Structure 1
């Protein structure tokens, strides 16, 4: 017949709220052997205290207080907690790290074990297509078709080609300014807007990257004195939509690229959707 030896209880329970009292309790539970944590009545009070103590930390990371208490329980049974000069300090540090990775795991939709790995935690949280004002397909390079005309035909390969490409780009920019002026944009606003878009395009190296950078740069829009709606319409018209469904269309290429590949202003004026969008977006058009 097997008998179970009850955990020897001290005359006065340890004050686990203090570091010394917690160490004494942890050592006693460890020496009592298997089953001590399950049957010792002080353990319930200890875990309730831990849940209350770490509730603010758990709330900060979107967790339940008992999830933090569970993490504390795992640490309390280790040798590091029993022998530490400051047991609560060791436990608090471990619980904080666990909460951080628990929150990270929930964001990454993976296990806590995976979230602790650097090559996994370096990723950003999953993002819905509807989370942003502009669809993710408009600017993310993973959804973009690299236009061979954009990167090949007009990519400079020497001094002569570079000069020719520069002249062609300058001509396209001037035509774009004239095109905007025909649709109700003041020459000053059209020039400042197009020149800034061209500068950002040269710096970014791709239309999608330039579009996203300019869309986020509210300071530039304020400096150019262009309303938000007009600015976004200008960006979409000049740089185009990089969505794969529009890659070979006029909307996908944008005015600047269409002018570069040989389209003319009269041909652009036949694009009813483009003309309507830019006409309605002209600053002061609705006043």
Structure 2
């Protein structure tokens, strides 16, 4: 007979439990849980299980730029929990937890912070840091934050370059939009993270319509920002404007950002009853507080 080496998943079938199935894994996890603090260290099938887990989640780990054993470590943490032991499908629970952990591990490496911080919406909403040398034109050459005017330089608006005036105007529009949402019962950190994320997507997309369609389908961003669906949709319509062509020339179609850029002030926006009502009603938590979580999505006339 020719000797050959069996793969890990075949070896596991000859053990006490067939951990490739949900029932077998659940039985093994219960046995390890009741075996004492050193059961995972001395049980031979536990070592085979971890080898199998590392192979199973290796593609997921590589997808996020991680070592397979980092995914196996995340799976090990989940397998010791009661939720995994008593789940109807333990593998589904473990796979979901490992996927989430890999996503935030990758996010933490990009943001140069801990995984715990990367899981927080107001931190993960930021883009990855960039080196000055990564840009063709150094940031210090054109960004006004790095410019120190001479003491005798004239303070005249006419002498400010158009690019700097546009940058200042855009920055003011973003801050005024954040202030508007904060005044209408949105939490300040949630409003800032969400609006800055929308502005970043708008910069990349180039047009409001393209940005709106992209963000409307971006469930990952909404999950990171921890916003319910109705709040996310209302925020996009308020900031970028209603996408229907019939509203193009109206305040509803222009959106808050464009209205601020073309000269409308924050007090003017606060006198827009339709805008104020839609933004305030969409504030996160308002529906739950008012007990109308079961209200139809369409809303209807009020």
Superposition TM-score, scaled by structure 2 size: 0.46
Structure with the bigger RCO (C-alpha within 8 Å, sep 6+) is 1
Larger Rg: 1
